[in-house]
Amino acid sequence: MYDLIVIGGGPAGLAAACAAWEGGLRSILIVERDKELGGILNQCIHNGFGLHHFKDELTGPEYAGRFVKLLGETGVEVRLDTMVLEVTGQRQVHMVGKSTGYRVDEAQSIVLAMGCRERTRGAIAIPGSRPAGVFTAGAAQRYVNMEGWMPGKRVVILGSGDIGLIMARRMTLEGAKVLACVEVMPYSGGLNRNIVQCLHDYDIPLYLSHTVTDIRGKDRVEQVVVSEVDASRNPVPGTEMVFDCDTLLLSVGLIPENELTRQAGIAIDRRTNGAVVYENMETSLPGVFACGNVCHVHDLVDFVTAESQKAGAAAAACVLGGAASAGEAVLEVKNGDGVTYTVPQRIRPQRVDKLCGLFFRVNRVCRDSEILVTSGDAQIARFKREHLAPGEMERIDLPRALLDRAEGELTVSIREVEQ
Amino acid sequence: MKELICIVCPKGCHLKVDEEKGFAVTGNACPRGAEYGKLELTNPTRVVTSTVRCEGGAHPRCPVKTDRAVPKGKIFEVMAALEGIALSAPVAVGQVVLENVCGTGANVVATREFLFLERKRNQKEL
Ligand SMILES: Cc1cc2nc3c(=O)[nH]c(=O)nc-3n(C[C@H](O)[C@H](O)[C@H](O)COP(=O)(O)OP(=O)(O)OC[C@H]3O[C@@H](n4cnc5c(N)ncnc54)[C@H](O)[C@@H]3O)c2cc1C
Ligand code: SF4
C-alpha cells in the first residue's frame, strides 16, 4: 500500500509528488505512460516558462528538467512506460506497463494529473474531403521539436490558442510559409504576448471572426477555404478566401483527460470538463485530488505548479492527519455575470489557512472592470482589473476572515466600470 | 506616443511609450516592461529557440536557445547557423552549442539533458 500514487508525470504530477514528499509522505509512486517525465513541456521548446515560480525565463524542457532534478533528490518511485487503466472508488490503481505487465496497487491517497489532449478535427466537424496534411497543432509541435519532421511547407492555422500561435512562429522559422491564422471568435484565445511575438513579428495575418469552411484536395491538402462568420458564428456567403496550402493545423482547444476520473465516479464540472474540487484540490471522492490541466486548462505552467503543490501538500495532510471531520460547512462557488468557471468550485472555510486562491475565466474581453465576490446580498470582496480576457486565466485571493462571513454560496461576477 | 504589448512575461501589460520624452513608459506593472518598451522602439530583440540534430539520445532533436536576446533582424541568420550543427549524447542543460552566434554576442545553448543511449537509431525500437 502506497501513501500516495500520482497518475501522470507532467509538471502537475511532479510538483504534487515533491510537495507530498516535503509534507512528510515517504512511499510515493508516480505512474507515467510516456518513456520520460515532463509531460507536454518536453515539446514546448519556446521560452517564457517559470517567471513566477523560478523568477527566471525558462523553456519548457528546462522547466521540466528542474523539477525532474528536484524529484531526484527525494525517494519518490517512478514507473515509466506504464499506463493507468482504472482507478476504483477504494483507491486501487490498475495499470499496465512494459516491464511490469498488468498490476494493481493500492494507495491511501491519489493525485490525478493526467493533463489534457487536443480537440481534433472530428470534434468540431469541418466540411470537405479528408486528405493528408491536417494535424493538430500539438502533434505538429511534437513532430517538429522532438522527432525532427516538418509537417508541410504552406500552412493555414485554424484557432488562435497559444499552441497555434507558437506553431505559426515555429513553422515560419523552419522555413514554411504560414499564410493565415484563422479564429472563429472576435478575439484571440491566446496570450497577447504570443500574438505579438508569433504573428506580428512575422507579418502573419490573424483573421478574427473567420473560420475554415472547406478543405480541398484528394491525397494531400491543396486548398483551404476561409469565410467570415456572423455574430452567431455562421459563415457569411460571398466572403470566401481560398488559400493554396498543403497543411492545416488545428489549435481548437484542449480537453482534460478525465476518463479515469469519470470511471471512478468522481463528480465532473461541465464547464471545466474537470473534476469538481475543494479549496485543497480534493475531488468529491475523499483522498483523491486533481491538479493541472486535468482539472482545468491552464495557460501558464507556473499556475499548474502552484496548484499541484497545494494538491500534494493536501494529500500528505490527508494521509498523516487522518479522516476529516464530517459536517463541515461548504460554500458553493457560483459563476455570476461574465464568469465562465471557477476553480475551486467548493470552499470549506475552516480548512483555509490564511488565503484561498480562486482561479477563474471571463467570457468576454473587458476593459477597466471590477471583480465582485458576493454571498446572498452581501458583497464580500472587490478587485479591480484594467484588462480581462477569456484567454488569460485570472486569480484572486480571498482571505479566510472574509470567507467566514459568507453563507452557503459565493458568487463571482464581473462589472465593467464606465470611465 | 506608441502603444505596445509587453512580451517579457505572460501578463502582457499594455504599454504606452512616449518617444518625445526619452521613451518614457507607462502601463508597465514592473521595471522590465519599461526596459522592453524602450528597447522595442530603439533596438528590438528576441530570444531565439529552436532545435539541432542530436545523435545517440532519446530523441533525434535537441532543443536549444540563445542565452540572451538577439536583434530581431538577425533571427533568420541565427536559424541558418543552426542548420549544420549535430550534437552527440550525452548533452547537458546549458552546454554551449554555438558561441557568439552571427556576431550577436549570444551563445546558443542546449535546453535539455540527453543521456547516452546505447541503442542505435537504426534499431527498430527507436
Ligand atoms: C499540445 C500542447 C501544447 C502546449 N503548449 C503550451 C505552451 O506552449 N506554453 C504553455 O505555457 N502551456 C502549454 N500547454 C499547456 C501545458 O499543458 C500546461 O502548462 C502544463 O504542461 C500542464 O501540465 P500537466 O502536468 O497538467 O499536463 P501534461 O504536461 O499534459 O502531463 C500529463 C502527463 O500525464 C500522463 N498521463 C496521462 N494519462 C495517463 C495515464 N492514464 N496513465 C499514465 N500517465 C498518464 C501523460 O503522458 C503526461 O505526461 C500545452 C498543452 C498541450 C496539450
Ligand atoms: S511590464 Fe512587467 S509584468 Fe507587465 S508584461 Fe512586462 S514584464 Fe510582465
What is the tens place of the pLDDT at every residue in B59-100? 999 999 999 999 999 999 999 999 989 999 999 999 999 999
Does residue A322 carry a pLDDT above 80? no
**Distances in Å between the alpha carbon of A12 and those of A68, A250, A394, B13?**
12, 25, 19, 27
If DSSP codes are grouped into helix, strand and coil, which group holds residue B36? helix
What is the reported pTM?
Answer: 0.92
Q: How far apart are the first and last CA of chain B?
A: 55
Flag whether the ipTM exceeds 0.85.
yes
Q: Residue A16: give the domain boundaries.
A: 2-117+255-324
What is the tens place of the pLDDT at every residue in A173-186? 999 999 999 999 99
Residue of A nearest to B62 (CA): A146
Task: Note whether B61 contacts A146, CB cutoff 8 Å.
Answer: yes
Residue A329 lies in a domain: no
- Distance (angstroms) between ligand 2 centre and the Cα of A72 equals 33
Please say which residue of A229, A252, A275 terminates a domain.
A252
Whether A168 and A243 map to the same domain: the answer is yes
Whether A311 and A354 map to the same domain: the answer is no
Average pLDDT score over residue span A263-268: 96
Whether A241 and A261 map to the same domain: the answer is no
* Burial classification of residue A241, based on how many CB atoms lie within 10 Å of its CB (0-12 exposed, 13-18 middle, 19 or more buried): middle
Window from A35-44, A118-127, A130-139 with minimum mean pLDDT: A118-127
DSSP string of B47-65? --EEEEEEESSSSSEEEEE
| pLDDT given for residue A323 in this prediction | 61
* Beta strand pairing call for A177-182 and A206-207: parallel
Number of domains in chain A: 3
Whether A14 and A104 map to the same domain: the answer is yes
Task: Specify which of A48-52, B7-11, B18-22 reaches the highest per-range mean pLDDT.
Answer: B18-22
* Residue A50 near ligand 1, beta carbon < 6 Å: no
The answer to whether A79 and A30 are in contact (CB under 8 A) is yes
| Residue of A36, A55, A59 for testing the chain B interface, max B β-carbons within 10 Å | A59
Where does CATH 3.10.530.10 sit in chain B? 49-110
The ligand with the least distance to the CA atom of B39 is 2
The one-character DSSP state at A35 is: S
Among candidate residues A403, A302, A393, the one with its CA nearest the CA of residue A346: A403
Whether A80 and A160 map to the same domain: the answer is no
Whether A214 and A304 map to the same domain: the answer is no
Residue A307 lies in a domain: yes
Q: What percent of chain B shows pLDDT beyond 90?
A: 71
| Helix %, strand %, coil % of chain B (to 5) | 25, 30, 45
Residues flanking ligand 2, CB < 6 Å: B 6, 8-9, 11-13, 28-30, 32-33
Residue with CA closest to ligand 2 atom 6: B33
Does residue B118 carry a pLDDT above 70? no
- Distance (angstroms) between ligand 2 centre and the Cα of A204 equals 24
Residue of A nearest to B6 (CA): A193
Rounded-to-integer distance, Cα A254 and Cα A272, Å: 11
- Distance (angstroms) between ligand 2 centre and the Cα of A191 equals 13
For residue A147, the chain B residues in CB contact (below 8 A) are 59-61
Residue A180's domain is classified under what CATH number? 3.50.50.60
Task: Note whether A59 contacts B10, CB cutoff 8 Å.
Answer: no
Average pLDDT score, chain A: 93
Average pLDDT score over residue span A336-360: 94
Task: Note whether A59 contacts B61, CB cutoff 8 Å.
Answer: no
Residue A17 lies in a domain: yes
Residue A361 lies in a domain: yes
Instruction: Tell which atom from ligand 1 comes closest to the C-alpha of A37.
Output: 49
- Nearest by CB to residue A387, choosing from B9, B14, B47, is B14
Residue A337 lies in a domain: no
Q: Which fold has domain B49-110?
A: CPE0013-like fold (3.10.530)
If DSSP codes are grouped into helix, strand and coil, which group holds residue A67? helix
Does residue A124 carry a pLDDT above 70? no
Q: What percent of chain A shows pLDDT beyond 70?
A: 98
Among candidate residues B59, B40, B43, B42, the one with its CA nearest the CA of residue B51: B59
For residue A196, the chain B residues in CB contact (below 8 A) are 4-5, 7
| pLDDT given for residue A198 in this prediction | 95
Please say which residue of A207, A237, A252 terminates a domain.
A252
Rounded-to-integer distance, Cα A40 and Cα A11, Å: 8
